[in-house]
Amino acid sequence: MPIHVIGLNYRMASIDVREIFAMDSDAIANTLLEWRESFPGIEAALISTCNRTELYFASDLDALPNYKDVFPFLVAPKRRNAEETTFDRYCDFFQTLEERDAAEHLFSVTSSLDSMILGEPQIHSQVKRAYELATAAQTTGPILNGAFQTAFKTSKRVTVETDVFKRRVSVPSVAVVDFALRIFERLSDKKTLVLGAGEMAEETLKYLADYGAQSVVVANRSREKAERLAAQWNGRVVDWSERLQELTTADLVVVATGASEPVVALEDYLQMENARKTEKSLFILDLASPRNVDPQIGKRPNVFLYSIDDLEAACAHNKDLRDKEIPKARKIVQEEATRFLADINARKSIEAIRRLRDGWNEIKEAELERLFNKIECDRRTEDEIRYAFDRLVNKLLHSPTVSLRNASQTESAPRLVEALRRLFRP
């Protein structure tokens, strides 16, 4: 099997190691051009993200470069000549995969089954970009073209045919998709008030923006942090002391501060409750621990209050449902890998048969020429002799041809092709 991969990812290497091998698009493009000069005729594609750097290479040639020769092309160009970035120093962080394992790995990566966050949407586009860079550098060919096209097909099948990615398991994503969107038909016309400016608030805002939230107000004890967060989402900042006033017009409230006691008390809400339209729903996400919103507020009319415990319970439930779908997704990966390998084997088998037939026909023609130079015969006799030789070659080729065609759908095909090469050198 002519496809190999060498690389490292978040499972094997910490961020400080991964940074050494991370490359942007320009670095990848330059690396592939160097590859083409160093290994002409050997296909290559390079995937580099914050969580992985992997080099895929393939060829129908009998000999591929060894992993030590390939290693320099995994190092970011700016670090490539540094003495400390040697294969011997970093080889323990890398995995090497061949044949079926390499194909299944590519398909799993593209389908986000090998991601730090299962189902992260970015990886599919990152793999697609890596493939585009490889085709632009002219380092792909029939093997990697087929592998990447099958990877994209596999990713689509996993998305459509399973519920793996329909089950969100992060607190912010569950808060927005599984809770907020049940209350509100859309978010584009809703006002979002964010109390706090930490990572949880930022990630929740990201999901809200993905689903159309536009009007964002941020309040935080540190105004500087609030301004930094609001700037990312074209929001506005209010002083911490104005947070309750903003609550009177908010539709959706995200609370995630480090306070040890409620920042929205029941008496605070009761004082401003009459200022709110009684029929207007108020959705509150209390993402803090301990809770930042008095639980009694959730009992007020048209108030939907969810705490971190509610969300984590939903995450756990989603995770159980999602995990049940993973074997189905893995089966799709295996099916596509089997189909891809069968196509590769069939192509190699057909090529081997063609070369064997051409070789034997060349021998046949040489022997016929030698024979006709020694004997005299009429045209009809010559045709009969040629016909007999053709039948002999076809009968001799029949058995290996049938065996190779039948084996092309199995993993024994590469061994049969190799045996054919060794026996007959086609």
Which residues are designated catalytic?
Answer: 50
Task: Note the Cα 170 to chain centre separation in Å.
Answer: 19
Asked whether 124 and 155 are in contact (CB, 8 A), the reply is yes
Degrees to nearest 5, angle at CA 73 with 71 and 76: 110
